[in-house]
């Protein structure tokens, strides 16, 4: 050990010299000055002391006070200064990849080093770190994966878990595992960081760990609710009629026709009530009539536009941050604003977006200050609420909604709905406006709606399906998933856990005794949803790797097909050109991608995308994810280096369909023909209307979502024989390289007449496999 010790000591000295050189250089001094101005700096010594004396410390403080960029850096600097730099290894987790990347870049700039030296990052399928990296920012998912392979976190000295107030599933999961680890690693330091003040909850969870609050300073922000906003902007509510509120008006109407019995949620009723009453009496009856048609679940783009115009024309200088529900809305609004005479004028408005899937170059721009007389407007998701701080914001426009997945354990259905945020979020959003001077916040909902918001948002663990999570828990060699999860801050329902275990058994990741199968072991290390992971493995084994690779990548990125508000019909037609023949959204993805590759070779990729309503950025993202998945599977030995052997059967449509089916099972519905229309029936739901007629008896689907009405996302028609052969727990004996097909789970759908056909087909397949 002493040789190693000497090497590390030498390296530590070098680190100290470098750090001092930087801090004494002119730029270094300037940077230190800025850093010293952050509220966290005043608490530096107290923080370092608390961390030295306690195994767990909980730290809270206003967003922007310097938790993420400063605290891990303080620890690093003090280790380096004391000549122990090379001996420490600090990990700081972030809930989102983009913040891990942005923050690591910022910290390396603050240290005057290139990224990937002392400071690095690691996110799913990407990273920048080297042998000299001692401070690593990663997603919480990455740290979890690391814990799966090394339960003691050997070599790690400090773990910071950031943004715990968000109560993300991975963070809650991490806390269970770390809590279990602490007694075995007495020297390990755990620091929890949170923006809002529910620090006590976490302190109690860790047996009364000390909490430190960093007092921050923010300027007062004036809140305006919808009532005031209408007054200020002079916006006439009649135009709510004209807007295609987030494009959901149609769905809303459909829902009214389909499910008139469905009770409106409480807040919706409240809004309608409020809008039809006193505060709006000053508007004429025509307006009030139109209000009753307004879908308060949606915020009109035109209203946002009106508020932005008001700010640009009448208000003092300062950047504007608009909180919206998701990437689709952001890009639609951006397109709308681009054609506005004032807001779309690049000499007057610097329009930017901020969301989880934006490119790194765009990321940097949101921190830049615009030239004088140009107003910066950032359209953002709730990512800008706490994890990213844009300094020059003076105005906030808050739509009051965020897209969150909720999970209905009873119906085993995830729902992705823009839903009202919590009071804590609304306050947080408002606070974003007061960082540099007094600010203004425009909430685009009535005050009474705010009053009805929940205090805090429900933890993610209680509102999402637990499939992936349970698989990971299993690979921790935990005997009982239920018991493990009962140690969570707020344990999920037993039913939700049961559903997940059933699902994992059904896809063959767990055996009957709930032990991980070979397939399960593979799936737990593949950085994708278990269903998609299984599809990839099956694609490789059945020699149709290329198309499946495209499908899985596309499903993990997002739909490359664009649906512009004003050209929905045209876009729909464009998309159907790709899928009409096959009745498969998945084959459409393959075709769109391959068409793009061909067009690229001919130098006409841009026109191709334009003509077909495809997003070049998304296609590019799919392309790079493809490469990464391909690399991982090669690395795991599932794909030969010579890919042609893996693609011998890529042109066999039925086989590709079959592999899609094997991955998406048990997401399957039967197609029931009626006289005039068709319906489909999923395993646990009643019939739902199907708009197209399809010549297949079954549909496999990626997701069943409740968005007003239950509908299927990304589906592919399949035949009886495909379902029988591939829809089930096909167990892949990966190690021995042979296939074993299991029966079972298909009884549900099985027509007795098909039994015979099934046996015959199975026999044939076995012959093929044995060859
Ligand atoms: P917290 O984690 O407490 O919310 P951060 O550590 O993320 O705060 O940020 C502290 C301060 O550092 C911010 O107020 C901002 O001024 C500055 N900052 C953070 N990231 C960047 C960046 N990429 N570019 C410029 N300044 C930044
Ligand atoms: Mg932070």
From the CA of 65, how far away is ligand 2's center (Å)?
8
The ligand that comes nearest to the alpha carbon of residue 61 is 1
pLDDT digits (tens, 9 = 90+) for 717-760: 887 777 767 776 444 333 222 233 333 333 333 344 444 544 55
From the CA of 460, how far away is ligand 1's center (Å)?
26
Q: Is 318 left (phi over 0), alpha (psi -120 to 50) or beta?
A: left
- Which stretches of 517-567 are DSSP H helices? 518-525, 530-541, 545-556
CA atoms within 13 A on the CB side of 323: 33
In 10 A of CB 580, how many CB atoms? Answer: 12
CA atoms within 13 A on the CB side of 276: 14
Give the β-pairing of 135-139 and 119-123: parallel
In 10 A of CB 281, how many CB atoms? Answer: 10
**Closest Cα to atom 16 of ligand 1:** 391
Atom of ligand 1 nearest to the CA of 65: 3
Q: Which two tokens stand for residue 365?
A: 């721009």
Burial tier of 615 (Cβ tally within 10 Å: 0-12, 13-18, 19+): middle
Atom of ligand 1 nearest to the CA of 435: 14
**Closest Cα to atom 19 of ligand 1:** 389
Which DSSP string do the residues of 667-680 spell out, in sequence order?
-EEEEEE-SS-EEE
Q: How far apart are CA 252 and CA 293, in angstroms?
A: 11
Residue 401, SS3 per DSSP: strand
The pLDDT, as a whole number, for residue 590 is 95
**Closest Cα to atom 10 of ligand 1:** 66
Give helix 26-36 / helix 97-110 axis angle, nearest 10°. 130
- The pTM (predicted TM-score) of the whole model is 0.75
Q: Is 637 left (phi over 0), alpha (psi -120 to 50) or beta?
A: left
From the CA of 539, how far away is ligand 2's center (Å)?
40
Q: Which two tokens stand for residue 673?
A: 């023909």
From the CA of 672, how far away is ligand 1's center (Å)?
56
pLDDT digits (tens, 9 = 90+) for 645-657: 778 888 888 888 8
The ligand that comes nearest to the alpha carbon of residue 107 is 1
Q: Is the dihedral of CA 384, 388, 390, 393 positive or negative?
A: positive
From the CA of 347, how far away is ligand 1's center (Å)?
28
Could you list the mean pLDDT of each consecutive 10-residue stretch along the chain, which spans 771 residues? 90 97 97 96 96 96 91 98 96 90 94 97 90 96 88 96 90 94 96 85 94 88 88 63 32 32 42 43 34 40 87 95 82 86 93 75 78 92 79 91 62 57 89 91 84 81 85 86 92 90 86 86 82 88 89 87 74 82 87 95 92 88 88 79 76 86 81 54 48 71 62 77 66 33 34 48 50 44
The pLDDT, as a whole number, for residue 454 is 80
From the CA of 385, how far away is ligand 1's center (Å)?
13
Atom of ligand 1 nearest to the CA of 162: 2
From the CA of 41, how far away is ligand 1's center (Å)?
13
Which secondary-structure segment (H or E) carries 741? strand 738-741
Pocket of ligand 1 (CB under 6 A): 38, 61, 63-70, 102, 106, 367, 389, 391
Identify the bridge partners of residue 440 per DSSP, sorted by sequence position. Answer: 222, 395
The ligand that comes nearest to the alpha carbon of residue 94 is 2
From the CA of 382, how far away is ligand 2's center (Å)?
14
- Which stretches of 111-220 are DSSP H helices? 140-149, 169-181, 199-205
Contact between 104 and 115 (Cβ < 8 Å): yes
Q: How far apart are CA 50 and CA 518, in angstroms?
A: 45
Atom of ligand 1 nearest to the CA of 106: 23
**Closest Cα to atom 22 of ligand 1:** 106
- Find the distance separating the first CA and the last CA of the chain, reported in whole Å: 53
CA distances from 269 to 256, 275, 276, 282, 426 (A): 15, 10, 11, 21, 20
Atom of ligand 1 nearest to the CA of 71: 6
Give helix 169-181 / helix 140-149 axis angle, nearest 10°. 40
Which DSSP string do the residues of 321-338 spell out, in sequence order?
EEE-S-HHHHHHHHHHHH
Pocket test for ligand 1, best of 193, 389, 433 (most atoms within 8 A of CB): 389
Pocket test for ligand 1, best of 64, 196, 387 (most atoms within 8 A of CB): 64
């Amino acid at each position: 050990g002493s040789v190693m010790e000497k090497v590390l000591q030498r390296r530590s000295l070098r680190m100290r010299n470098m750090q001092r050189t930087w801090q004494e250089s002119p730029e270094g001094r300037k940077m230190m000055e800025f850093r010293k101005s952050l509220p966290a700096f005043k608490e530096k010594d107290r923080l370092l002391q608390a961390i030295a004396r306690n195994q767990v410390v909980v730290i809270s403080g206003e967003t922007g006070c310097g938790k993420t960029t400063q605290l891990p850096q303080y620890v690093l600097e003090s280790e380096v200064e004391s000549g122990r730099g090379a001996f420490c290894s600090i990990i700081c987790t972030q809930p989102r990849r983009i913040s891990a990347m942005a923050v690591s870049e910022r910290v390396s700039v603050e240290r005057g080093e290139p990224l990937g030296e002392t400071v690095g990052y690691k996110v799913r399928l990407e990273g920048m770190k080297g042998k000299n990296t001692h401070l690593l920012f990663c997603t919480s998912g990455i740290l979890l994966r690391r814990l799966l392979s090394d339960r003691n976190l050997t070599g790690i000295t400090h773990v910071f878990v950031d943004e715990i107030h968000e109560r993300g599933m991975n963070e809650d999961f991490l806390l269970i595992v770390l809590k279990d680890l602490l007694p075995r690693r007495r020297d390990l330091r755990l620091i929890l960081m949170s923006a809002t003040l529910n620090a006590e909850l976490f302190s109690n969870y860790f047996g009364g760990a000390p909490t430190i609050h960093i007092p921050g300073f923010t300027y007062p922000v004036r809140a305006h609710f919808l009532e005031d906003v209408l007054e200020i902007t002079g916006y006439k509510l009649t135009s709510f009629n004209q807007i295609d509120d987030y494009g959901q008006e149609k769905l809303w109407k459909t829902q009214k026709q389909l499910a008139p019995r469905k009770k409106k949620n409480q807040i919706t009723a409240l809004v309608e009530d409020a809008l039809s009453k006193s505060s709006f009496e000053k508007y004429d009856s025509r307006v009030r009539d139109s209000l009753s048609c307004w879908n308060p679940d949606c915020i009109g783009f035109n209203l946002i536009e009106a508020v932005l115009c008001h700010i640009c024309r009448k208000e003092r200088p300062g950047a504007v941050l608009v909180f919206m529900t998701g990437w689709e809305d952001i890009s639609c609004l951006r397109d709308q604003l681009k054609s506005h005479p004032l807001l779309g004028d690049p000499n007057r408005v610097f329009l930017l977006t901020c969301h989880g899937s934006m490119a790194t170059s765009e990321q940097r721009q949101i921190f830049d200050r615009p030239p004088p007389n140009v107003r910066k407007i950032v359209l953002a998701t709730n990512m800008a609420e706490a994890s990213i701080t844009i300094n020059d914001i003076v105005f906030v426009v808050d739509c009051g909604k965020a897209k969150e997945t909720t999970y209905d354990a009873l119906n085993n259905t995830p729902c992705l709905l823009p839903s009202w945020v919590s009071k804590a979020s609304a306050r947080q959003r408002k606070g974003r406006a007061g960082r540099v001077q007094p600010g203004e916040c425009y909430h685009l909902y009535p005050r009474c709606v705010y009053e009805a918001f929940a205090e805090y948002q429900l933890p993610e663990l209680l509102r999402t399906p637990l499939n992936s999570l349970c698989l990971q828990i299993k690979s921790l060699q935990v005997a009982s998933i239920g018991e493990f999860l009962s140690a969570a801050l707020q344990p999920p329902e037993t039913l939700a856990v049961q559903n997940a275990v059933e699902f994992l058994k059904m896809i063959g990741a767990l055996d009957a005794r709930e032990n991980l199968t070979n397939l399960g072991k593979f799936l737990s290390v593949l950085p994708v949803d278990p269903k998609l992971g299984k599809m990839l493995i099956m694609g490789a084994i059945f020699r149709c790797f290329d198309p499946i690779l495209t499908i899985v990548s596309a499903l993990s990125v997002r739909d490359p097909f664009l649906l512009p508000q004003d050209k929905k019909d045209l876009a729909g037609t464009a998309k159907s050109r790709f899928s009409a023949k096959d009745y498969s959204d998945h084959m459409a993805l393959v075709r769109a991608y391959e068409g793009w590759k061909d067009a690229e070779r001919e130098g006409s990729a841009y026109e191709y995308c334009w003509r077909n309503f495809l997003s070049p950025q998304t296609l590019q993202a799919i392309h790079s994810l493809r490469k990464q998945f391909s690399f991982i599977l090669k690395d795991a030995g599932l794909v030969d280096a010579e890919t042609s052997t893996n693609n011998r059967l890529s042109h066999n449509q039925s086989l590709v369909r079959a592999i899609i089916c094997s991955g998406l099972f048990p997401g399957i519905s039967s197609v029931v023909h009626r006289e005039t229309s068709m319906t489909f029936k999923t395993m646990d739901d009643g019939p739902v209307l199907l708009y197209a007629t399809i010549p297949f008896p079954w549909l496999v689907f990626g997701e069943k979502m409740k968005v007003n009405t239950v509908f299927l996302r990304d589906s592919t028609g399949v035949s009886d024989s495909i379902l029988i052969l591939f829809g089930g727990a096909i167990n892949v004996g990966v190690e021995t390289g042979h296939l074993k097909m299991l029966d079972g789970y298909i009884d549900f759908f099985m027509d007795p007449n098909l039994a015979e056909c099934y046996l015959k087909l199975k026999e044939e397949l076995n012959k093929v496999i044995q060859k």
